[in-house]
């Protein structure tokens, strides 16, 4: 059965990768070599 509201990958990345490391979106974006805007678009 297809999901009506599939999970968005940005939420997973935020909860499983960025928050546990204690990073802000700005810090994570800098570490990945992307802009804050680009990383925020993932969410």
- Enumerate the domain spans of the chain: 9-42
d(CA 4, CA 14): 22
d(CA 17, CA 27): 12
d(CA 1, CA 31): 38
What does the pLDDT read at residue 1? 61
Has residue 5 got a pLDDT over 70? yes
pTM score of the predicted model: 0.71
Summarised one tens digit per residue, pLDDT across range 23-41 is: 999 999 999 999 999 998 8
């Amino acid at each position: 059965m297809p999901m009506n509201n599939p999970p968005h990958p940005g939420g997973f990345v935020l909860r499983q990768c960025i928050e546990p490391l204690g990073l802000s979106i700005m810090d994570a974006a800098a570490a990945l070599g992307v802009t804050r805007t680009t990383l925020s678009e993932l969410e």
